[in-house]
């Protein structure tokens, strides 16, 4: 490695070489030929965040020095990392994650967390038997809670969701699941489902890319974290069409959602709809009907579903669904102006930290753009985190 700049700490050797560097301060900045590497000490470990020298366009690299054994490890990094910029600043929060502010990108894209010791990271580390870190993008404000819709095959979930998306294309977005089942005649890959191989989805599940997955009617179905988060990133409310096992997993996850179960008016009517749809073989219909009984039984599980909707007359059911959703719609987000303004490129660096408030100082003259030079980032009510986004960041101007 070829360092051209001095660092504020003692750096004694090539960090992947035999002789280990010696860091004497909590935070150091190491300047290499083509950008910055930053190091943060957490307990007995030093995390070095940088970019590959050989390929500046490559993604961010992370190395961990175990100070007790003086060995370097490249951890398994889960989740989607930020696009590397030439400059960033970072600080340790809660002793289990590093807040990273990337510079030269829109404010909405600049706040990231590298989780190094959160319960999720510890659990993944145990499963994988390796050092694990996980990326989670920070989101200003809460966004609207995703909506999980479950119910037996043929009850009309897809029909209701399609109506909602048609009436409110800019308000709702569909979480496109992955499945190993074969596409039906009119289904489009990437629109209705991501149709995939069993080995591929199993590999991606083991890499921590899925919020939930389940074996349903003999196939694997799963919701990738990106499927949900890409909808929310667009400012839309995400709709998930998943089975009861999936709903249970989401309930147990860090994603806060509203859970709706759609019931048929009768079992006979369900069978009639399933047959009339004409998309399954008789054997598949029988399997779906058997599973429907179990799903209907589970719809009453305490604490699982927030609302039950009976889909008898389609229009009535759709109106009831809209009523349920609008009930949750009328919250005002006090961060709204920042969420909108956050599309402009920003260059903030971390100035100081007190409890859960972090001060961000602009490196360009934001005042000229009508925004402010000093921002307060409040982390006191964040929720979520890896494997999804970290929500609930509050930003305000400091006058």
243 binds ligand GDP (CB under 6 A): yes
Site string for ligand GDP, 171-190 (x = CB under 6 A): ------x---x---------
- Of 159 and 356, the one with the shorter C-beta distance to ligand ADP is 159
41 binds ligand GDP (CB under 6 A): no
Provide the 3-class DSSP secondary structure of residue 46.
strand
The span from the CA of 381 to the CA of 391, in Å, is: 8
356 binds ligand ADP (CB under 6 A): no
The span from the CA of 277 to the CA of 289, in Å, is: 14
298, 304, 307, 309 alpha-carbon torsion, rounded to 10°: -20
Single out the residue of 120, 82, 117 nearest to residue 98, CA to CA.
117
How many CA atoms lie less than 13 Å away from 5 in the CB half-sphere? 13
> If contact means CB under 5 to 8 A according to the sort of partner, which of ligand GDP, ligand ADP, none does residue 309 touch?
none
CB of 383 to ligand GDP, least distance (A): 22
> If contact means CB under 5 to 8 A according to the sort of partner, which of ligand GDP, ligand ADP, none does residue 223 touch?
ligand GDP
Provide the CA 199 distance to its chain's centre, in angstroms: 23
For residue 147, the cross-strand partners are 239, 258
Supply 176's token pair.
């496109």
75 binds ligand ADP (CB under 6 A): no
> If contact means CB under 5 to 8 A according to the sort of partner, which of ligand GDP, ligand ADP, none does residue 221 touch?
ligand GDP
CB of 278 to ligand ADP, least distance (A): 8
Binders of ligand GDP: how many residues, by CB under 6 A? 17
Is residue 312 a contact partner of residue 294, using CB atoms and an 8 Å limit?
no
Provide the CA 36 distance to its chain's centre, in angstroms: 26
CB of 198 to ligand ADP, least distance (A): 22
Single out the residue of 259, 300, 224, 303 nearest to residue 147, CA to CA.
259
Tokens 């709809």, located at residue: 273
Q: Which of residues 153-182 bind ligand ADP (CB under 6 A)?
A: 153-159
Q: Which of residues 275-334 bind ligand ADP (CB under 6 A)?
A: 276-277, 311, 314, 317
Q: Edge-to-edge strands of the sheet including 60-66? A: 27-32, 35-42, 45-51, 60-66, 71-73
The answer to whether 237 is a known catalytic residue is no
The answer to whether 391 is a known catalytic residue is no
262 binds ligand GDP (CB under 6 A): no
The span from the CA of 226 to the CA of 232, in Å, is: 10
Among 228, 242, 350, 375, binds ligand GDP (CB under 6 A): 242
Exposed, middle or buried, 372 (CB in 10 Å: 0-12/13-18/19+)? middle
Catalytic residue among 251, 288, 389, 391: 288
154 binds ligand GDP (CB under 6 A): yes
CB of 153 to ligand ADP, least distance (A): 5
Supply 348's token pair.
């903030």
Among 90, 102, 142, 241, binds ligand GDP (CB under 6 A): 241
The answer to whether 184 is a known catalytic residue is yes
Catalytic residue among 184, 198, 275, 290: 184
Single out the residue of 166, 189, 303 nearest to residue 239, CA to CA.
166
Residue ranges binding ligand GDP (CB under 6 A): 153-154, 158, 177, 181, 212, 214, 216-217, 221-223, 241-243, 245-246
Residue ranges binding ligand ADP (CB under 6 A): 151, 153-159, 273, 276-277, 311, 314, 317
Give the residue numbers annotated as catalytic, written as ranges: 184, 277, 288
């Amino acid at each position: 490695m070829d360092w051209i700049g001095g660092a504020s700490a003692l750096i004694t050797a090539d960090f992947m070489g035999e002789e280990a560097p010696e860091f004497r301060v909590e935070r150091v900045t190491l300047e290499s030929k083509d950008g910055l590497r930053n190091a943060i000490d957490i307990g007995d470990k030093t995390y070095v965040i940088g970019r590959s020298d050989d390929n500046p366009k490559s993604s961010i690299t992370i190395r961990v020095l175990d100070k007790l054994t003086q060995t370097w490890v490249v951890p398994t990094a889960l989740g989607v990392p930020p696009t590397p910029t030439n400059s960033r600043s970072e600080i340790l929060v809660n002793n289990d994650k590093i807040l990273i502010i990337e510079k030269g990108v829109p404010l909405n894209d600049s706040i990231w967390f590298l989780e190094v010791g959160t319960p999720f990271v510890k659990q993944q580390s145990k499963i994988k038997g390796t050092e694990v870190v996980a990326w989670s993008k920070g989101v200003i404000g809460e966004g609207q809670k995703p909506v999980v819709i479950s119910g037996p095959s043929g009850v009309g979930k897809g029909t209701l969701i399609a109506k909602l998306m048609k009436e409110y294309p800019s308000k709702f977005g569909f979480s496109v699941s992955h499945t190993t089942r074969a596409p039906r005649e009119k289904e489009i890959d990437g629109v209705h489902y991501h149709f995939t191989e069993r080995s591929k989805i199993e590999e991606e599940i083991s890499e921590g890319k899925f919020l939930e997955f389940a074996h349903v009617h003999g196939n694997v179905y799963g919701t990738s974290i990106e499927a949900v988060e890409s909808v929310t990133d667009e400012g839309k409310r995400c709709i998930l069409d998943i089975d009861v096992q999936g709903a249970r997993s989401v309930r147990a996850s860090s994603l806060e959602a509203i859970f709706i179960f759609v019931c048929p008016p009768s079992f006979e009517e369900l069978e009639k709809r399933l047959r009339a749809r004409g998309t399954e073989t008789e054997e598949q219909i029988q399997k779906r009907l058997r599973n429907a009984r179990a799903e209907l039984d589970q719809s009453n599980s305490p604490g699982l579903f927030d609302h039950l909707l009976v889909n008898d007359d389609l229009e009535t059911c759709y109106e009831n669904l809209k009523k349920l959703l609008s009930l949750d719609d009328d919250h005002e987000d006090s961060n709204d102006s920042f969420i909108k303004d956050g599309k402009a490129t920003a260059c903030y660096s971390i100035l100081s930290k007190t409890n859960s408030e972090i001060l961000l100082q602009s490196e360009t003259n934001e005042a000229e753009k009508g925004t402010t030079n000093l921002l307060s980032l409040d982390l006191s009510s964040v929720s979520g985190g890896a494997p999804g986004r970290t929500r609930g960041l509050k930003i305000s101007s400091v006058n």
